Structures are given as structure tokens and as C-alpha cells.
A and B are shown apart, each in its own frame.
Chain A
């Protein structure tokens, strides 16, 4: 059993993120939404249809960017899109028009007659995105859409996703890049061991589990004594101490003045802090 007793609700037109360490059950959940893995217990509906009985209908409204670029390497860029459009029963003329739009959209016009093997990683990812849009999906599923891409390519993909959201496409994604999720998603869940740990907006979740800021300081006995006196929440991570203050200005000043510490820094709390707090720092397979 990959997921256990999970319950979630994704609204139309929102960008929704599934987070979690490897093996948390994200991909399984995504595969169930895609009607690829069967739901053995409970009920999962997509657009009001049961995934176990209406897979063809649901999939016709859906676009998928899988974790692995499974482009058809027997074909060129253009042929990839054309052959894929045929799986959706899109008439050829309509598909050809659509493909021109998509090649413009992902900036691959010049590569249209190139075999997919000779594309760079970023180009492959863009082509996979274009392929996922060939049927004008209402729901777009992305499993780690920017993994392995350079910053330019990542920003381009983000830009395209925001554009699609504006057009009303519902977007569901998983990612290990938590800054990506924080920037893009309206709401998210954090999963671990097949269960959902939290659900909410990125800022809401950060506020709830960490607060607004984090102070990082070097681990030494002087600091520990100081913190005990002040009764604040903190966490020791190797040579570093993460302090979760109610008022970071006040506390940093106090630490600097009263405890005569030199190396401390305050920064806004991020989703990564929440993630590590909830799922721990133990390495996953």
C-alpha cells in the first residue's frame, strides 16, 4: 500500500502542490489522479468522474508531464506532437494548427525537424510540456517539471505555468524544489509515509509551523545558555542552531547584545524549513 487514508480536494483553476520525501506516496497519488494506478479502496473523483470507471474520459481532459521525459525517440519534435495528438482523436488540420501554436509557446520552432534525442534537457522538458498541452487540457499534471534544468529553463517553465493558470487550467504538481512550490502553488499538501501531514497555502503553512522568521546561529554553549534563559523554541542541526522567535528583531538584538554572539543571521522562514521540520532530516532511499 503506497498511500493510506488520504483525503484532498483540488479546486478548479488553482495550482496545487504535492510535497514529500522520496517514497512519500506523491507519485502514486498523481498516478491515481491520472487513472494509471487503480484506487483499491475509497473514492477518487476527477471532474466529478470516478477514476476507476471513467479513465478514458478523464484522460481526454488531462495533460501529463511525467517525471521522466518519455518522448518518442523514433520521431522528430514535430512528429512527436502530431502522433500524440492522434491519440486524442484530434483531427489532423486542427492538430497542425495547434502544434504551430505550441512550438511558438515553448520556443521550439527552429527544432521542429530535429529528432528528440539530440535536444538538450531543457528543450526536452519544454517539448514534454507542449505535448501535454496538445489536447488543450483542463487539468495539467506535472511530476517534478523542472528537475535537472538550468535556472533559465526553470524560469521559462514557471512563466509558462503561470500563463496557463491565467487561462484557467488547473495545475497539479510535485516538486522537490520547495522554492518552486512556494512561488507557484496556491495550496499544497506535505506527505510522508503515504499520509498527508499538512494542507494549506504556502504562507499559511509556514506561518503555522515555523512563524515568519528564522534566526541561524553557530552552536556553542554560551548561546545555549542564553536561549534557555529566554525560553524560545530552537532546534540544533549539527553545528548550527535554528531559532524560531516570536519577534526576530527583538531576539536578534538580544542575542547580539546580551550574549555577545557574532555569527547570527535572521531570514524569512521558507517552505523548506516546514518540510524538514515535518518530515525530519533522516535520509530517504
Chain B
């Protein structure tokens, strides 16, 4: 096992878009069902947490509680959409449906397939954000000034979680074992990335940990800032972090998948 097998830049071609198209076509077949969660979830969370729990919470840094968690709901949805698409979703297509095997018998390579899967995962994150912004907007909880910038950022954040999901897909021995990263990584992030209370409420060491190793922290920071209508310089750091880690993990996930599938 040479390290270069994991970090070498894989040869991905524009044909990966065909895999994206395939997944889009499947998505469109069930469009009503697929649009329901991003539409309904923010409403439920905002009613329960924002307006219910929020009554008992003082404003956070001068911001009403509902307004504080609204952008976090988008960030969480970005994480869930692409992570689940590229973990359980990709695993089912790879292992149970043999979709990848069928595709690599055509001029597409396994690298194209994995890249296409991740592009699609990121697209789902973007779709979710796009649906949620107007819903949250209707509650008056988002400043519309920079809100559209959330959409391309949701794609970038989606790519990050797609790559994380795909790395686990590449190494998981079976579909049940994907529960481990969900339980040990995704769920803690959902709770401890400055989503429902500010990071500053945590011990300093854990704050550093969150900034260094919990990707959702950066997604929440950026989307929250944009939803407040503020373009602060601090989000440059977050965007750079996301870009850098996405790049590394995309390369790693494709190489890991090639190792798993090319025999």
C-alpha cells in the first residue's frame, strides 16, 4: 500500500455528468416526495424550537432564537442531504443495485462514477437550501440581501459532506456499519457545531476542536452570517477551510472507492 495511491489526483472526465443525470432522473420521478422534507422540516423545527423553545430563551447576541437557529437548519439539511445520498444511497447503488458495475462497462470509468455521485449529492444539498430559503423567508427569519449566496455555498458544503459520506462508503464492510459514522460523527455535529446554541457556550478546548474538526461548524458560520445579511471577513476562513478539506476528501474518496472496486 503506497501513500500515492490515496493522494494521487484521479482522472475524472466530464462524462461524470452522465451519472449526475442518471441520479437526477431518478430524483425527478419522485419529485413530490423528494421536495417534501426540505419544505416541511424547517417549518416543524421552527415551530417547535424557534417559537416554542424560543419563548424561554433570551435572544442570542441580540438575535431572537428563531432567527438564530433558522440558518443552522439550512446547514444541517445541507449536511444530511449529501451525506446520506453518498453513504446509504451510493452504497445501495454500488452493492445492491450493481448500478456502478453496469456503468463502468460503458466509456465511463469508476472515477467518473464516483465524481458524478458526489456532484449529485452536492446538488441535493443545494436543492434543499433552495427550497428552505423561501420557507424560512416567509417566517421573516432571513435577511434577503445575501440570501441567494447561500445557494452556491450549499453546493460547496454539499460537496464536502458528499466526500465524507463517500469515504465511509468506500471503507464500510456492510450497510449497517454506516450507522457508526452517523452516530459518532454526524449526530454530534448536528448538536455541537453552533447549531442550536453558540459555540462560545462550550469549553474553550471543545470550541477549538469544533472549529478544527467538525465541518458543520464552518457551514453554520457562513450560512448564519449570510442569513443575517452580514459579509464578515471571518467567513473567508470558513470558506477556505471548506474548500481545502473538500478538495482533500474528494481525492481521497475517489481513490478509496477505486481501491474497493477495481479488482
Bound together: yes
CB within 8 Å of B: which residues of A? 34, 36-38, 55-57, 59-60, 62, 64, 66, 68, 70-75, 79, 83-84, 86-89, 131, 135
The 14 listed contacts between A and B (C-beta, < 8 Å) are A37-B263, A38-B262, A57-B107, A59-B106, A60-B106, A66-B102, A70-B97, A70-B101, A72-B97, A74-B26, A87-B103, A87-B107, A89-B107, A135-B106
Q: Which residues of A have CB within 8 Å of B106?
A: 59-60, 84, 87-88, 135
Task: Tell me the smallest distance from the CB of A74 to a CB of chain B, in Å.
Answer: 4
Q: What's the Cα separation between A131 and B106 when bound, in Å?
A: 11
Contact mask for chain B residues 210-245; partner A; CB cutoff 8 A; 1 contact, 0 none: 000000000000000000000000000000000000
Contact A79 B25 (CB under 8 A): yes
Q: How far is the CB of A16 from chain B (nearest CB, A)?
A: 19
Partner of A56, one of B21, B109, B263: B109
Given pairs A68-B101, A72-B22, A79-B25, 7 additional interface contacts (CB within 8 A): A36-B105, A59-B107, A60-B107, A70-B99, A83-B25, A84-B106, A87-B103
Task: Specify the chain A residue showing the minimal Cβ separation from B98.
Answer: A70
**B108 interface contact, C-beta 8 A:** yes
Determine if A37 and B109 form an interchain contact, defined as CB atoms under 8 angstroms apart. no
Instruction: State whether B29 touches A74 (Cβ < 8 A).
Output: yes
Is B53 part of the contact surface with A, judged by Cβ < 8 Å? no
CB distance from A73 to the nearest CB of B (A): 6
Return the chain B residue nearest A71 by Cβ.
B102
Q: Please give, as numbers and ranges, the residues of chain A lying within 8 Å of B101 by CB-CB distance.
A: 66, 68, 70
Residue numbers of B with Cβ under 8 A of A are: 13, 15, 18, 21-22, 25-26, 29, 97-99, 101-109, 262-263
A84→B107 contact, CB < 8 A: no
Is the Cβ of A84 less than 8 Å from the Cβ of B97? no
Considering the chains assembled together, what is the distance between the CA atoms of A38 and B258 in angstroms?
12
Q: What are the 10 A-B residue pairs with the smallest beta carbon separation, nearest first?
A: A70-B98, A87-B106, A64-B105, A70-B102, A56-B107, A74-B26, A60-B107, A59-B107, A70-B101, A87-B18
A68 with B107: in contact, given A38-B262, A79-B25 (CB under 8 Å)?
Answer: no
Q: Which residues of the other chain, A, contact B108 by a CB distance below 8 angstroms?
A: 87
CA distance A83 to B106 in the complex (A): 12
How far, in Å, is B80 (CB) from chain A's closest CB?
A: 21
Are B18 and A75 in touch, CB under 8 angstroms? no
Closest to B30 in A: A74
Query: Residue on B with the closest CB to A79?
Result: B25
A74 / chain B contacts, CB cutoff of 8 Å: 26, 29, 97
The answer for the CA separation of A86 and B29 in the assembled complex, in Å, is 18
Tell me which of B22, B102, B105, B263 has the highest count of chain A C-beta atoms within 10 A of its own C-beta.
Answer: B105
Residues from chain A with a CB closer than 8 A to the CB of B18 are 86-87
A37 touches B107 (CB 8 A): no
A88 and B99 contacting across the interface, CB-CB below 8 Å: no
Contact partner, A86, options B21, B97, B98, B104, Cβ 8 Å:
B21
Q: With CB as the reference atom, state the residue of chain B lying closest to A34.
A: B105
A62 partner residues in chain B, CB cutoff 8 A = 105
When the two chains form their complex, are residues B26 and A37 in contact, meaning their CB atoms are under 8 A apart? no
> For A88, what are the chain B residues with a Cβ–Cβ distance below 8 Å?
106-107
Closest B residue, CB atoms, query A31: B263
Q: Interface centre among A55, A79, A86, A131, by most B CB within 10 Å?
A: A86
Could you say which residues of chain B place their CB within 8 Å of the CB of A89? 15, 107
Contact residues in A for B26 (Cβ distance below 8 Å) = 74-75
Contacts of A60 in B (CB 8 A): 106-107
**Complex: how many Å from CA A241 to CA B119?**
64
Partner of B262, one of A36, A64, A71, A72: A36
B102 CB contacts on chain A under 8 angstroms: 66, 70-72, 84, 131
Once the chains are docked, how many angstroms separate the CA of A57 from the CA of B107? 7
Q: Which residues of B are found within 8 Å of A73, using beta-carbon distances?
A: 97
Bound complex: CA A73 to CA B15 (Å): 22
CB atoms of A37 and B99 under 8 A apart:
no
| B31 vs chain A, min Cβ distance (A) | 14
